Structure 1
Amino acid sequence: MTIMDDSAPWTTTPITEDLLRGALELERTEHGVLPHRLPARARAQCADGQLAVVEAQPSGVRLVFRTAATAIELDVLPTKTVYRGAQALPGDAYDLVVDGRLVDRATADGGNVLTIDMATGTRTTDSGPVATVRFTGLAAEPKDVAIWLPYREVTELVALRTDAPVEPVAPHGRRVWLHHGSSISHGSNAESSSTTWPALAAAAGGVELVNLGLGGSALLDPFTARALRDTPADLISVKLGINVVNADLMRLRAFGPAVHGFLDTIREGHPDTPLLVVSPILCPIHEDTPGPGAPVFDDGVVRFRATGDPAERAAGKLTLTVIRDELARITAQRAADDPNLHHLDGRELYGEEDFAELPLPDALHPDAATHQRIAERFTERVFGPGGPFAAP
């Protein structure tokens, strides 16, 4: 990419809600605006540092506008997350999508760095400067532009500059799909925000995505259920289970009522909206072994293992097998009075045969190719003919 000619006329456009999709709230900051995927009320009800980071990582959040610009500059202040002793992970790309097609990808140099020691839980932040992301060489004709923000970097938006005026774009009447899940829905090891499995499935299904995938934080929190309840949507899905197991958060006695309460809260705001409950994809380390999960480091490569004892299932400790059975039971029970409630076994998206071909690189998260496969399966089973989200 080339740097813009400084003599060219500039148009600076304020970054406001009508240019952003996929965020539930914008916070005004010293530098600009910070997109959040949980509202302030929810954030105030949980002091967990993990949640604070992941809800501000803008997975699925994108700037959308119409312009004839040939060049675009976006000033940002990213906060990059690195794990001490581990190799760098993907998820730092800004994807430029023009008229629905990915045409360029860039990263932001500079910004803050949050260093997490997974062995001790300690966190340190080093401050850095505002960075500029540039896209040039675009056709000088009106076009719909979307800039998908990195799913792994907290991103303060400072300024948007173009060499032609910008105007907001209406969603063209497309249905809004509101999705909640764990790090796999957040993005895990996908190449970028526009290529996570929810983003790929949304594009294939012709819907507008609001991605509330929260890495490590799909824990049936009541404040998350209220955020889902209060967010306008035409379609809703919740992918539940893996974080409850690898956090060793609750026992079977608590899990069932928590799921009922989570769904009850969503239904308060969306009584008739198609609602899909998705159980976990295959994850061999936790199929029959409870959590907690723990990282293991080997020459900078992180892998995960389950540290629980399978014998503890008798005392109510949760495994993925137990959770899948419970989610199937709960949704079948509720569906008798809720015809718009649906269930999908996550192993239909990624099961034993898939694991043999495309194993989970760190034993917990899928890679980019597996995101593509999960998206294709979800599109076929959920958005396809006869699926719960099929177009009317």
Structure 2
Amino acid sequence: MTTSQRWISTAINHALLLGAIELEQTDRGTRPHRLPAAARAQWPDPQLLMVEGQPSGMRLAFRTTATAIELETIPTKRIYVGMPPRPDGVYDLLIDGQLARQGSVSGGDSLTINMSTGSATHERGAPGVLSFEGLPAGDKTIEIWLPHDETTELVDLRTNAPVEPIGTNGAPVWLHHGSSISHGSNATHPTGTWPAVAATAAGVSLINLGFGGSAIVDPFVARTIRDARADLISIKLGINVVNTDAMRLRAFGPAVHGFLDTIREGHKTTPILLMSPIYCPIHEDTPGPTAPDFVDGKLSFKASGDPAEIAMGKLTLNVIRDTLSKIVTQRAATDSNIHYLDGRDLYGEVDSAALPLPDRLHPDGDTHRLMGERFAALAFAPGGALAH
């Protein structure tokens, strides 16, 4: 940008930033959240607070003639003791719906995590700037998708021409809740997570409430969904309940019913698609908890439960699929807008042979795209549970 040009600063609010549940104003900028303050206060678990603050699915969306854009942010870099450095989070710039540029922001805060002790240390740092210059002239729609796996505090949006927030631009709002896979674990960029791929293919406006390690049928998540604006809802449950060994069958079934009851308080007739886990060999018939397992120096995972305990109510993925299918069948007798999708239709045993889960738990970038394309074809196509 030449010195004769001047930046225009635009306030970051809900009209400009899509996919956020709540925006917190701090002493440094705007911190987007995917859970409201009341939910965060009820169970301030460090893992949950970290992942809900990672802006998966969030994007700045506006029309402008600007040819230069700067986004000043304060990212939080995670440092795991004894492990290689994590790559910087990726920002995707879309022009008229097409991925045009990518970038990252260096610097910022640091969060040092010791997985062996469970301790974490946070240090404040300086803001960084994401810069996109030489953009095409003329009126265009711009979307800047924030990193799906890196917390960021938004300080300022600057452009060399005015911007006009476009909101959802008339698209139906699809709210999805799930685990780390829905959050985007092992996807390489924010529009490459399977929910983002599906939303783009279907032309819907995404709110992604996928929380890494934290889809455990929490009542405060159900209340968040109940109170959110949503035209279409999908819920993917199961793998984190097994990962954490959080409950047994006697508790799981009623908890899912209660979760759905709460959502229905705010969404009486909204289509709901309840999904079971994708294929995951280590937990198909072996209960949790899931344990870390370093293979050739790389973090992987293994099931540490005993299959003999299934008879005592321990949960496996096959037990969960059977339970969720029965719950939907039961509720569908009086609720024509609830549907079931077997997660293996997105990623099944055959896929596992061709595209194995790199760490035995999370899909890679290619598999995220495959899952997103399949979900769009199954759920959003004419006749699908979320057709619009």
TM-score of the superposition, structure 1-length normalised? 0.97
2:299 aligned with 1:269: no
Equivalent AA in structure 2 for residue 302 of structure 1: L
Q: Distance in 2 between matches of 1:187 and 1:20?
A: 19
- Contact 1:91-1:193 at 8 Å conserved across structures: no
> How far does the alpha carbon of each residue in 1:320-378 deviate from its partner, in whole angstroms, 9 at most, with x for none?
11101100111111111101000000001000000000000000000000001101110
Q: Distance in 2 between matches of 1:29 and 1:218?
A: 27
- Picking from 46, 53, 69, the partner of 2:66 is 69
Equivalent AA in structure 1 for residue 228 of structure 2: T
- Contact 2:18-2:168 at 8 Å conserved across structures: no
2:90 aligned with 1:93: yes
- Picking from 164, 182, 187, the partner of 1:190 is 187
SS at match of 1:146: strand
Q: Distance in 2 between matches of 1:91 and 1:172?
A: 31
2:253 aligned with 1:286: no
Identical-residue share of aligned pairs (%): 62
Match of 2:130 in 1: 133
Q: CA deviation at 1:225?
A: 0.1
Structure 1 unaligned blocks of 5 or more: none
Q: CA deviation at 1:87?
A: 3.5
Residues 254 and 364 of structure 1: CA distance in aligned 2, closer, same or farther (over 3 Å): same
Residues 38 and 172 of structure 1: CA distance in aligned 2, closer, same or farther (over 3 Å): same
Structure 1 range deviating more: 20-29 or 308-317: 308-317
Q: Distance in 1 between matches of 2:240 and 2:252?
A: 12
- Picking from 311, 324, 327, the partner of 1:327 is 324
SS at match of 1:263: helix
Equivalent AA in structure 2 for residue 310 of structure 1: P
Match of 1:46 in 2: 43
State the superposition RMSD in angstroms: 1.2
- Picking from 21, 24, 28, the partner of 1:24 is 21
Q: How do 1:56-205 and structure 2 match up within 5 A?
A: 56-89=53-86, 92-205=89-202
Structure 1 range deviating more: 290-299 or 91-100: 290-299
Q: CA deviation at 1:6?
A: 4.0
- Contact 1:80-1:152 at 8 Å conserved across structures: no
Q: CA deviation at 1:65?
A: 1.1
Q: CA deviation at 1:85?
A: 2.6
- Contact 1:91-1:190 at 8 Å conserved across structures: no
Equivalent AA in structure 2 for residue 309 of structure 1: D
Q: CA deviation at 1:187?
A: 0.5
Structure 2 unaligned blocks of 5 or more: none
Q: Would you say how many aligned residue pairs link Structure 1 and Structure 2?
A: 388
> How far does the alpha carbon of each residue in 1:89-144 deviate from its partner, in whole angstroms, 9 at most, with x for none?
56710100111011000000101121222233221223221000011110121111
- Contact 2:88-2:104 at 8 Å conserved across structures: no
- Contact 1:89-1:189 at 8 Å conserved across structures: no
> How far does the alpha carbon of each residue in 1:167-215 deviate from its partner, in whole angstroms, 9 at most, with x for none?
1114221110000000000000111111100001001011000000011
Q: Distance in 2 between matches of 1:313 and 1:119?
A: 29
SS at match of 1:382: helix
Residues 112 and 170 of structure 1: CA distance in aligned 2, closer, same or farther (over 3 Å): closer
> How far does the alpha carbon of each residue in 1:281-325 deviate from its partner, in whole angstroms, 9 at most, with x for none?
001111111111111234541101111111111111111111011
Q: Distance in 2 between matches of 1:298 and 1:147?
A: 36
Structure 1 range deviating more: 86-95 or 61-70: 86-95
Q: How do 1:236-255 and structure 2 match up within 5 A?
A: 236-255=233-252
2:340 aligned with 1:343: yes
Q: CA deviation at 1:17?
A: 1.8
Q: CA deviation at 1:380?
A: 0.9
Match of 2:227 in 1: 230
Equivalent AA in structure 2 for residue 135 of structure 1: F
Q: Distance in 1 between matches of 2:287 and 2:113?
A: 25
2:344 aligned with 1:383: no
SS at match of 2:112: strand
SS at match of 1:233: coil
Q: Distance in 2 between matches of 1:69 and 1:152?
A: 28
Q: Distance in 2 between matches of 1:42 and 1:6?
A: 46
SS at match of 1:238: strand
Which consecutive aligned stretches of 4+ in structure 1 deviate over 6 angstroms post-superposition?
none
- Contact 1:197-1:371 at 8 Å conserved across structures: yes
Q: Distance in 1 between matches of 2:101 and 2:355?
A: 27
Structure 1 range deviating more: 6-15 or 105-114: 6-15
